[in-house]
A and B are shown apart, each in its own frame.
Chain A
Amino acid sequence: MTPTQAMRFAILQFPASNCDQDCVHALRVLGAQAKLVWHKDTSLGEVDAVIVPGGFSYGDALRCGAIARFSPVMQAVSRFADNGGLVLGICNGFQILCEAGLLPGALIRNRDLRFHCEQVFLKTANFETPFTSGIRRDGVPIRIPIAHGEGCYFADAPTLERLQAQHQILWQYCDARGAVTDAANPNGSVLNIAGIANERFNVAGLMPHPDRAVEEILGTEDGRSILNSMVSALESRRAAA
């Protein structure tokens, strides 16, 4: 394998995933390889990273992500993550990773009970991760769309303390100037949390959609810096191998 070969992403596909093709498109725009992996598959094949995409897997029956987490492919994702593989969950994918216990906490109904479909600003709280290293560091927040009804992040107090102490909070909702305020919090998430990582920083999840923000025609290209961070991290790993 040569370092010039494109990074290979697996995009999971559950019944009622609806951002799977967006993820494939976004990654191809960025020059990566992307293939869909059906949720009944027990293997991911030869891939460098996994994306659990947005949507409404199983119609959000019972709780968002509660059924998808038991799909056969999720065992392969767990093993992949245990071995240090990079996994990113977007929106419903974030919910699935929390339900699966790959990330701490849970996502509950937005505090105003409304579905929010809008652009939000994100402050990056930790730049030293495979998901954030390429994000601009000049204090200007990135702008990414959200589209969810159940994106209010909750974790109990000890878990939040751990997340803060270990810098596992990656993104927080903020205003256009980068201030983390209650007014800029679209869903009531504790500490304005929009996205977090696990303790090893190889699994992350966020409610906003970087996959819908890679082309200027859609209003913002800021999602590129998240996906490109993953690509850079994978390239560094490959170069070191």
Chain B
Amino acid sequence: MKGFPMNTSLVNTLLMLPALLLLAIVFAWPLLDSAWLSTQASSVLTGLAPTANGGANWQRLLGDARFWQDAAGTLRFAVVSVGLELVLGLAMALVLHRPGRGRGWLRALALLPWALPSTVLALGWRWIYNDPYGPLNSLLKLFGAPAYGFLTTPATTWLFTVLADVWKTTPFVALLLLAGLQSIPAELEESLVLEGASPSQILRRLTLPLLRPWISLALMFRLAQALGVFELVQVLTRGGPAGSTESLALYAYLNAMRFLDFGYSATLVVATFLLLLLLTAMGWLLLRRRPLEISR
């Protein structure tokens, strides 16, 4: 595994140009546009026309308790759901990697939740959590327990958004890790077995170290997605109860589409991007170093 050596030869640079151009158009341009808009007052009060307001949006952001609360909430959601997805996804990948009858079917089946559109999934979970008629509360009733407000308890509702997200996205993580598992030569494991290593030793000494690049790939992917979580909360909770599950993306969306405050919405978008950049950089630094030493 050689990282990603920066080759400065002219040919390579030229070959990368189209891709870079595409990235600039679909990624850098909207971001720069948002960065510019975040320095403007552009809302229903200005007739939607942008006029420079000297950083007032950013000043407002720093003092906006709702922004900080949403940022903390979004972070909590992302860290917990991605953490669970990695653990469960690894377990799932190990099971799916075992040779056996019907493995193809099992793999296809395991992917189903991921193939579901988020909106449909959120509607489904909304019913599962329904109070008093949903299946979970029916189950509680069966055991004589009182109904629980899965979507009406500000302290715990975020956990149930995590559960819905984990249910949907674990297969995606499992798929990535399964690809990683299949890239590990079978002989390595066999030789360790011959040496008398236990399964848990094999997992710790061989599988996990060799899987590290794949884990970090899954982590990056999922962290970026989870920090931008939108449809799930929009449909499942609308950010409630009491704003406890509002994500940064939902807040930015409300500002743009409901409040018609595009200046502030753009500010939220840029702030979310900066946060994401910071986190992925941290994750990258944390996971990038060691695999090389161990896998050699």
Q: Do A and B bind each other?
A: no
Binding site for A on B (CB under 8 A): none
